[in-house]
Amino acid sequence: MKIKTLIVDDEPHAIEIIETYVGNFPEIELVATCNSAIEAFQILQKDRIDLLFLDIKMPGLLGTELVRTLKNPPKVIFTTAYQDYALEGFDLNAVDYLLKPIPFNRFLKAMEKVFDGYRPINRQIVSVQTDQNKSENFIYLRVDRKTVKINVRDIYWLESLKDYIKVVLADRTLVSKQKISVLAELLPESLFLRIHRSFIVAVDKIDSYHSYAIEILGKELPIGRNYKDACRQRLQN
């Protein structure tokens, strides 16, 4: 049985991240995404929704106010940048309350709570390290219909290919249908540097650089005009 899901957030980038995470679970069917509680209310009136990822602070109607208007609300996971609404969220019997930016290991714990209500179910959940420090060293990508776990320290650079992204490792190159802006949120800033709208590089993998390019693994990657100052400051420190 598919769990029909709706994502509601007024920030498109936040929707993209949750869409990426949800893509790791074959038992989830994403019915729609929308950017307001009012639009979500309309969808909920005509479609069966089992799970709702719901931002709280949105123009027009708060996410918590939306839940209060529903006679039989679906399972709700609140997603927000504000801690202030946590108590109210749990008073509304929310499955979980996720603070942005949402790390995948924390998202996974919320999904475990969702699936507890749907057992038995044939699940193929991605396994992750539960240790906080270790889990942050990995990202998860959908590649050729499977989810691949990647240690961020194995990444040399990322290259945007329109709606796809190329991730270059020492021994292989992976291509995933993903936007570079989403992965930029997940990568540790201490280890990576954005040098161009289409390139993010691992700082410790840089072999050499000059004013307009960086060299890694014998390949020159361009430094974008808008990124030159930030690159110079980072690499000279």
When mean pLDDT is compared across 38-47, 48-57, 143-152, 170-179, the lowest value belongs to 143-152
pLDDT in tens, 140-192: 787 877 778 888 999 999 999 877 889 999 889 988 888 888 888 888 889 99
In this prediction, residues 29-55 reach a mean pLDDT of 96
What one-character-per-residue DSSP string does 125-171 give?
Answer: PPP---SHHHHTTEEEEEETTEEEEEEGGGEEEEEEETTEEEEEESS
Band (pLDDT 50/70/90 cuts) for residue 128 is very low
Does the structure show a pLDDT above 90 at 4?
A: yes
pLDDT in tens, 201-235: 999 999 999 889 999 998 999 999 999 999 999 99
CATH number of the structural domain 3-116: 3.40.50.2300
Does the structure show a pLDDT above 60 at 133?
A: no
Task: Residue 46: count other Cβ atoms within 10 Å of its Cβ.
Answer: 7
pLDDT in tens, 83-123: 887 778 778 889 999 999 998 888 988 988 888 766 443 33
Three-state DSSP at 78 gives strand
Q: What is the pTM of this model?
A: 0.56
pLDDT value at position 168?
Answer: 94
pLDDT value at position 1?
Answer: 66
What one-character-per-residue DSSP string does 26-44 give?
Answer: TTEEEEEEESSHHHHHHHH
In this prediction, residues 80-85 reach a mean pLDDT of 85
144 vs 21, higher pLDDT: 21
19 vs 136, higher pLDDT: 19
- Report for 70-74, 122-126, 184-188: range of highest mean pLDDT: 70-74
Check: CB of residue 224 under 8 Å from CB of residue 193.
no
- Locate the domains of the chain by residue range: 3-116, 148-236
pLDDT value at position 148?
Answer: 82
Q: Which helix (H) or strand (E) holds 105?
A: helix 104-116
CATH number of the structural domain 148-236: 2.40.50.1020
Q: How many residues does the chain have?
A: 237
Does the structure show a pLDDT above 90 at 40?
A: yes
Share above pLDDT 70 across residues of the chain, in percent, rounded to a whole number: 91
pLDDT value at position 117?
Answer: 67
